[in-house]
Amino acid sequence: MAARQNNLTLSELQACLVLAGAGSGPVYVASVVILEEYVPVGEKIIGWMLLADALSLKTIPPIIGQFIVRTPVVLFCTGAAAGSVCIAMFLCVEICRTRLLKKLAEEKKALDDSERCNSPVTTGSSKTNKTF
């Protein structure tokens, strides 16, 4: 007989963990793909990302587990706090990205304007002699 804790059976808890893992699994791959668009991703960068991933994987769950043993409500609070931090980081990245794109567009426009000012102006039609 499965022991019930917090109104969840062991199989229900395992199903929730599988769903959470399936939902958060693609985040790592997506972060590498997005990073590749802005930074030349080399072996060192991937190595540092793997190191950070391994360290967080080995340290964060035991720390959170200690809090959950004492007060199970911490799991909800931790999830809400992590979600809030992720949303805040996403908003900051989007704000920085839009500002950067706007700045790049202004620089491109200024460069195009300066090229137009420096290019010689030709009037009339110029005929070229073609010899075959």
Pair (66, 93) in one structural domain: no
Token pair of 30, please?
């997506």
Per-residue pLDDT of the chain (132 residues; tens, 9 = 90+): 444 455 667 888 788 778 887 877 777 778 777 877 877 778 887 888 888 888 888 888 888 778 778 877 777 777 788 888 989 998 998 998 889 889 988 988 888 888 777 766 555 555 555 555
CA 106/CA 112 separation, integer angstroms: 10
The model's pTM is: 0.41
Distance in angstroms (rounded) separating the CA atoms of residues 126 and 132: 19
- The whole-angstrom separation of Cα 58 and Cα 22 is 19
Task: Give dist(CA 54, CA 90) in Å, integer.
Answer: 23
Q: Are 53 and 28 in contact (CB under 8 A)?
A: yes
**Residue 30 belongs to domain spanning:** 26-70
Residues 59, 39 within the same domain: yes
- Residues 77, 98 within the same domain: yes
Kindly state whether residues 30 and 51 are assigned to the same domain. Answer: yes
